[in-house]
């Protein structure tokens, strides 16, 4: 009797490992589910409010700002999906155009955000954002290559770091 109980527990344990090792179900685009955090505009505003000790008026302005930002981002995403075939033809040119467009968009967003939270808080926010970028770049360098380029055993130093805002 003990033997059957132990074998049952071992089988259940093995099945639980098998279930967790299954790949994640794809999202609506057929890509693996994202592990990133998709914060709502309210959550992002709350987070920035806590980081920078903002007022309720600034917080409500941030919520509107983030909602507008999300709407623009969604429109841009839909437009990019429509132009996907054309993008594949001239990949490098499109990449540079997108970078320039994104930098321009970020500059406009930073200017609007500075109007909402003020110059001192904006400087503090830029400093925090740069620290996050530095951490992200450091983590990116430490990740294994995962077979995308060359040998899987090599450290991922071949990837360029994520560009800092305003630098080329």
pLDDT in tens, 107-158: 999 999 999 999 999 999 999 999 999 999 999 888 876 555 554 444 445 5
* 72-88 per-position pLDDT tens digit: 999 998 888 888 867 67
Quote the domain boundaries for residue 90: 39-142
**Residue 161 DSSP SS3:** coil
In a domain, 2, yes or no: no
- Give the lowest-confidence range in 60-74, 95-109, 146-160: 146-160
**Residue 21 DSSP SS3:** coil
Share of the chain above pLDDT 70, in %: 70
In a domain, 83, yes or no: yes
In a domain, 160, yes or no: no
CA pair distance 131, 137, nearest whole angstrom:
10
Share of the chain above pLDDT 90, in %: 46
Burial of 114 (C-beta count, 10 Å sphere; 0-12/13-18/19+): middle
In a domain, 127, yes or no: yes
Q: Per this entry, what is the length of the chain?
A: 168
In a domain, 98, yes or no: yes
Q: How many domains does the chain have?
A: 1
Average pLDDT, the chain: 80
In a domain, 131, yes or no: yes
In a domain, 29, yes or no: no
Query: Side-chain half-sphere of 125: how many Cα atoms within 13 Å?
Result: 20
In a domain, 11, yes or no: no
Tell me how far apart the 2 most distant CA atoms of the chain are, in Å. Answer: 74
């Amino acid at each position: 009797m003990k033997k059957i109980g132990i074998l049952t527990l071992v089988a259940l344990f093995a099945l639980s490992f098998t279930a967790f090792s299954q790949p994640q179900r794809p999202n609506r685009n057929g890509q693996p589910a994202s592990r990133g955090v998709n914060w709502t505009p309210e959550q992002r505003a709350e987070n920035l409010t806590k980081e920078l000790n903002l007022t309720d008026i600034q917080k409500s302005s941030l919520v509107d700002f983030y909602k507008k930002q999300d709407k623009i981002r969604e429109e841009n995403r839909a437009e990019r999906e429509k132009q996907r075939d054309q993008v594949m033809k001239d990949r490098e040119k499109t990449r540079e155009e997108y970078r320039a467009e994104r930098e321009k968009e970020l500059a406009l967003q930073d200017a609007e955000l500075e109007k909402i939270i003020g110059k001192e808080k904006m400087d503090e926010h830029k400093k925090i954002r740069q620290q996050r970028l530095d951490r992200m770049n450091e983590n990116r360098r430490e990740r294994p290559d995962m077979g995308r380029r060359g040998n899987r055993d090599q450290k991922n130093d071949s990837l360029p770091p994520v560009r800092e805002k305003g630098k080329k």
